[in-house]
Amino acid sequence: MTMTKAKIGIVGTGFIATILAPQIQSSKKARLDAVSSRTLAKAESFVANYPGAIAVEGADQLIARDDVDAVYIATPTSAKEDVASRALTAGKHVLIEKPLHSAASFKRLSALARQKASC
């Protein structure tokens, strides 16, 4: 039986992304498909170490990709809810790597995820 790998995109190229990317790349169940940064040059520099991964400028371009199933959000805390909301609205699975700004933020994202899952 052949298993399809989950196609993961990472928003952000900071420290945690540098730890996570090689783990995704070596996974038997997932592959790193795309990485976005605020500048294309930074995303290109990041993916240079990950054959097959595509560099894109900005979270919206990564979220819009049909070849990305799930989005790992490795942005500063202040941007996480906004990026996660856009990814959930686009029908992507979302993984967030550190705490959200507030409990209210968590509740809003949880409600949006439940809403999208029931569609």
Catalogue the active-site residues. 98
CA pair distance 33, 3, nearest whole angstrom: 17
Q: Which helix (H) or strand (E) holds 31?
A: strand 30-37
CA pair distance 60, 77, nearest whole angstrom: 17
**DSSP-assigned letters across all residues of 65-79:** -TT-SEEEE-S-HHH
Q: Output phi, psi for 58, to 5 deg.
A: 90, 145
Q: Output phi, psi for 54, to 5 deg.
A: -105, 140
